[in-house]
Chain A
């Protein structure tokens, strides 16, 4: 085959041998999504074939040559009812089937391991609970449900892993979640699918699915020496959170131990479940979320902590189960030279690229 360009030839051969209609099925949900997709393709093909066959045969049978005079037909209620009810029924099946899959994709199991992902122009940053963090890649163990808590620092992004058939919008100002359980080890595409500006198409990465042992090994090798919660603790200290949230009798803020997941009464009436979103909002927009018995004196930290920082704080508060821990933090804060201020203090965490330079966004 030398008469066509050998490069093109090689290219075509390579493509034909790897030709695929679907990406690999690498998660537990993928075969379920594909089953529905297959059903839909089948229904569509049958529907399309019926239309094409009807149009073609009518065109042949009733062309002007063969059928010079048209016979007027008003319509037929029976026929029309048929092609109203059958498509409607099929569409309803697709609706219910689709909704079942949707609920599965967006309802994480209770034992899922949580990884935070921050999207920003134009990179993905994943924060593992153990303090490992990575840019434009995500290492996960197979056979274990993983929940991602996603947030954007700037514009809308969208976190898409085609091989897992999952995708979730990453929105500024609110946490969204998605979960999956990888079934095949390997490296898969990670895309940003929501247009986010100049380098949108460079906001891509790899999802690396490792075996359980491989993942443990990776965790060990990538550790930064501090867990995410410990990072949060440092921030907690440097932002002097413990000055109020210290559980002392004269404390100006509520104690934060065991607050995660609790039902809190609000000063404005009503109650709220203290989830990730509530904790985040209380840090950035505190006067809107004051709990009963306290006055809205907490300053806002909007613009002072990056989303990474908020995540670290939230993770710290999530894991906080005794006031003793906070009071220890208080002692640490007392030791800090007061003149250095907040920014300098957070600089202590600065040996991690995570917090470096992003304290003020």
Chain B
């Protein structure tokens, strides 16, 4: 028995299907004016990868500056701009659209057996909005950057800095609409376009996770848009909503900003959790343990996440009663994540596990997200939050969740669905190595930051007391390793476009509807509308299908 499930067609005879969504039309215009969700997903994939590497380069600059205690590589103003742009690019231009706009866009219609998203033109519009937002961010970078931090804290952003706050705000505003449209599109599609027999509880968990994230996008993002408009009005016209000298309240800004930005954390992580449900089931050949619990835990996270925003403000003088409510809600929102981790773990129980690259990234996700989630509880508990907030502990915590969690899940998903998207396999050995390098580099980069935070090193410091240097050197060294880990996939994935093995329809023997059609798929996804007559993750159904095919071929 081999220790892999990869099942490729005979490479000497196999061909990429002549008709597919990539070959259907040619020329740049056929891409720029496309309504095909798969092509838009590819456009998104290219653009977010571009911004990821810009954001990553900025991260590299941050780590280089922090190699020494003095602010010697760049001026403090430059450092402030670098970390601000790093945050803005990574959050609004990478993490928020990462899984939903690429993998979600590509696979949600296919998973539910639809031809496309419900609103294909809106889908294309959302990509254009993203690109406009992205170009505006690039423009602000070229013309001097912005140094407010990604949080645009007032009154610093409204009265005290002389950088491109308005253009950046506008960029985030525009990119926000792209996210609203994507979310709206997903909600409509999932409600209205499911194939016959595809009931809610037969949906793959990836769809549930994206559905929950979409609700957050649609309900949360407008609040961010309003807040940013208020900041811009305050800055240009001095309307005084956040200005205490005019009777305004700067803490109000914090409330409004975090009302979006806490749910935004779940916009970023929920689709990643969806990916993990798919990969862990496929590579252990088992139905996800407690399907309903995992599905509803996504919804629970979405609902609870709207009522925890003030945990960002425990030390800002909110009343004791609001502290109690928000701290309690924070503890409650942690529970569904714990449920998910254990359900995934028990999905492995009595499975038949193989260790292809997506599975390695999945294990990486589970370890790092567990640490990220548990350290979140340190911050949700009000007494310890006082000591840990605004230090490197926070930085480490959200990088464990966002990079250790979401980015690992994104890479798991990209590797998992790469054969479906391109029709070719990625090279297995080197990608396993890349997964390992990423995991080691990540831990070396961010684990020392937990200790730095415990020791009290504040975040957003260009210079720091010398006793913190050794841990910072570890962190910078780790970032170098991590950089290699992220560069490798780009290289070998591009290589595989031409030289990868031909994947065939279903190389992983996975159960999702997206695997029951050719790779790369047709523009219409399926030759005829599929009829769903089994549960999600039904491997016995898959076995029967295969036997039937063999029988009919024979």
Which residues on A are within 8 Å of B, measured CB to CB? 11-12, 15, 18, 20-23, 32-33, 36-37, 40, 43-44, 47-48, 51-52, 54-55, 58-59, 62-65, 67-76, 79-80, 83-84, 87-88, 91-92, 94-95, 97-106, 121, 154-156, 158, 160, 162-163, 165-169, 171-174, 176, 189, 191-202, 204, 284-285, 288, 302-303
Instruction: Report Cα–Cα, A76/B287, bound state, in Å.
Output: 13
Query: Judging by beta carbons under 8 Å apart, are B367 and A51 in contact?
Result: yes
* Closest CB in chain A relative to B538 CB, distance in Å: 9
B235 part of interface (Cβ distance < 8 Å): no
- Are the C-beta atoms of B390 and A199 separated by less than 8 Å? no
Contact B345 A102 (CB under 8 A): no
Q: Which of B206-214, B262-270, B380-388, B524-532 contacts A (4 or more CB under 8 A)?
A: B380-388
- In chain B, residues 296-337, which have Cβ atoms closer than 8 Å to a Cβ of chain A? 313-317, 320, 323-324, 327-328, 331-332, 334-335
Annotate B523-554 by CB proximity to A: 1 below 8 A, 0 otherwise. Answer: 00000000000000001100000000000000
Question: Which residues of chain A come closer than 8 Å to B456, judged between CB atoms?
Answer: 23, 160, 162-163, 189, 191
Q: Specify the chain A residue showing the minimal Cβ separation from B330.
A: A95
Name the residue among B247, B383, B391, B465 with the largest chain A CB count within 10 angstroms.
B383
Contact B377 A172 (CB under 8 A): no
Q: Besides A48-B374, A69-B285, A95-B328, 13 other CB < 8 A contacts?
A: A33-B386, A44-B374, A55-B363, A59-B348, A80-B342, A94-B331, A94-B380, A158-B390, A173-B249, A189-B465, A195-B149, A197-B161, A200-B76
Please report the C-alpha to C-alpha distance between residue A52 and residue B384 in the assembled complex, in whole angstroms: 26
8 A-B pairs with CB atoms under 8 Å apart are A23-B454, A23-B456, A71-B350, A75-B290, A84-B335, A88-B332, A160-B456, A201-B464
A55 pairs with B345, CB closer than 8 A: yes
Residues of A within 8 A of B363 (CB): 55
- When the two chains form their complex, are residues A72 and B287 in contact, meaning their CB atoms are under 8 A apart? yes
User: Which residues from chain B contact A55 at a C-beta distance below 8 Å?
Assistant: 345, 348, 363, 366-367
- Whether the Cβ atoms of A62 and B384 lie closer than 8 Å is no
Are A70 and B352 touching (Cβ within 8 A)? yes
Among residues of B, the one whose C-beta sits closest to the C-beta of A72 is B287
Min CB distance A108 to B, Å, is 13
Interface size class of B (residues with CB under 8 A): 35 or more
Question: How many Å lie between the Cα of A20 and that of B332 in the bound state?
Answer: 33
Could you tell me if B391 and A91 are in contact, using CB atoms closer than 8 angstroms? no
A74 near B287: Cβ-Cβ < 8 Å: yes
Cβ A169 vs Cβ B345 within 8 A: no
**Is B335 a contact of A87 with CB atoms below 8 Å?**
yes
A157 to chain B, nearest CB (A): 10
Contact partners of A79 in chain B: CB under 8 A: 342, 346
A68 to B353, CA, bound (A): 8
A66-B375 Cα distance, complex, nearest whole Å: 36
Tell me the nearest residue of chain A to B161, going by C-beta: A197
Of chain B, the residue at the smallest CB distance from A20 is: B455
Min distance, Cβ A233 to any Cβ of chain B, angstroms? 26
Interface pair A162/B284, CB less than 8 Å apart: no
- With a cutoff of 8 Å between Cβ atoms, the chain A residues found around residue B179 in the complex are none
- Is there contact, CB below 8 Å, between A62 and B290? no
- Smallest distance from the beta carbon of A196 to chain B beta carbons, Å? 6
The B interface is mostly helix, strand or loop, or mixed, namely: helix
Partner of A70, one of B317, B338, B539: B539
Q: Give B221-256 as 1s and 0s: 1 = Cβ < 8 Å from A's Cβ atoms.
A: 000000000000000000000001101011100000
* One of A54, A68, A154, A189 near B345 (C-beta < 8 A): A54
Which B residues lie within 8 Å of A70 (CB)?
284-286, 350-352, 539
Contact (A285, B247) CB under 8 Å given A79-B346, A95-B331: yes
Contact B323 A102 (CB under 8 A): yes
Flag B440-468 by CB within 8 Å of A: 1 or 0 each. 00000000000100111011111111010
Check A47/B455 contact, CB under 8 A, given A73-B350, A87-B334: no
User: Is A84 within 8 A of B366, CB to CB?
Assistant: no
User: Which A residues touch B387, using CB under 8 A?
Assistant: 33, 37, 162, 165-167
* Contact of B315 with A167 in the complex, beta carbons under 8 Å: yes
CB distance from B150 to the nearest CB of A (A): 10
B350 and A94 contacting across the interface, CB-CB below 8 Å? no
The answer to the question of B80 belonging to the interface, with a C-beta cut-off of 8 Å to chain A, is: yes
B31 at the interface (CB under 8 A from A): no
Query: CB < 8 Å: which of B293, B315, B371, B381 contacts A98?
Result: B381
Complex CA gap A156/B321 in Å reads: 23
Binds A, one of B1-9, B51-59, B426-434: B1-9
Taking a contact as CB atoms closer than 8 A, the residue among B293, B317, B381 that contacts A171 in the complex is B317
* CA of A271 to CA of B368, assembled, Å: 53
Q: Does B317 lie within 8 Å of A174, measured CB to CB?
A: yes
Instruction: Report which of A68, A99, A160, A163 forms a contact with B327, defined as CB distance below 8 A.
Output: A99
Q: A21-B455, A101-B382 are in contact. Are A69 and B463 (CB under 8 A)?
A: no
Residues of B within 8 A of A73 (CB): 286-287, 289, 346, 349-350
A154 with B160: CB separation less than 8 A? yes
Instruction: For the complex formed, measure the closest distance between the CB of A307 and the CB atoms of chain B, giving whole angstroms.
Output: 11
The answer to whether A62 and B76 touch across the interface, beta carbons within 8 angstroms, is no
Report Cα–Cα, A88/B207, bound state, in Å. 27
Report B-chain residues with C-beta under 8 Å of the C-beta of A200.
Answer: 76, 80, 460-462
Q: Which of A11, A40, A51, A84 has the most CB of B within 10 A?
A: A51
Query: Are A160 and B286 in contact, CB atoms less than 8 angstroms apart?
Result: no
A119 to chain B, nearest CB (A): 12
From B339, B354, B465, A83 is in contact (CB under 8 Å) with: B339
Q: How far is the CB of B439 from chain A (nearest CB, A)?
A: 13
Residues of A within 8 Å of B482, CB to CB, are none
- B250 in contact with A172 (CB, 8 Å): yes
Chain B residues in 8 Å Cβ range of A104: 383
> From residue B330, how far is it (CB to closest CB) to chain A in Å?
8
How near does chain B come to A328, taking the closest CB pair, in angstroms? 33
> In the complex, which of the residues A15, A162, A169 contacts B317, with contact meaning CB atoms closer than 8 Å?
A169
- Give the CA-CA distance A195 to B390 in the complex, in Å: 9
Bound Cα distance from A248 to B371, whole angstroms: 68
Does B156 reach chain A (CB closer than 8 Å)? yes
Chain B 403-415, CB within 8 Å of chain A: the 1/0 string?
0000000000000
A162→B147 CA distance, assembly (Å): 26
Tell me the bound Cα distance from A60 to B449 in angstroms: 32
A12 to B284, CA, bound (A): 45
In the complex, which residue of chain B has the Cβ closest to the Cβ of A202?
Answer: B463
Query: B317, A68: Cβ atoms under 8 Å?
Result: no
Question: What chain A residues lie within 8 Å of B244 (beta carbons)?
Answer: 172-174
A360–B210 alpha-carbon span in the complex (Å): 54
* Chain A CB within 8 A of B343 CB: yes
For B3, give its contact among A20, A58, A63, A165 (CB under 8 Å).
Answer: A63
- For B167, list chain A residues within 8 Å (CB): none
A197 touches B156 (CB 8 A): yes
Do A102 and B383 touch across chains, with their CB atoms under 8 A apart? Answer: yes
User: Whose C-beta in chain A lies nearest to the C-beta of B458?
Assistant: A193
User: Which residues of the other chain, A, contact B21 by a CB distance below 8 angstroms?
Assistant: none
Chain A residues within 8 Å of B350, by CB: 62, 67, 70-71, 73
- Report the bound CA distance from A186 to B334 in whole Å: 39
Chain B hits for A168, CB < 8 A: 315, 317
User: In the complex the two chains form, is A167's CB within 8 Å of B389's CB?
Assistant: yes
Q: Is the CB of A47 within 8 A of B317?
A: no
- Are B461 and A80 in touch, CB under 8 angstroms? no
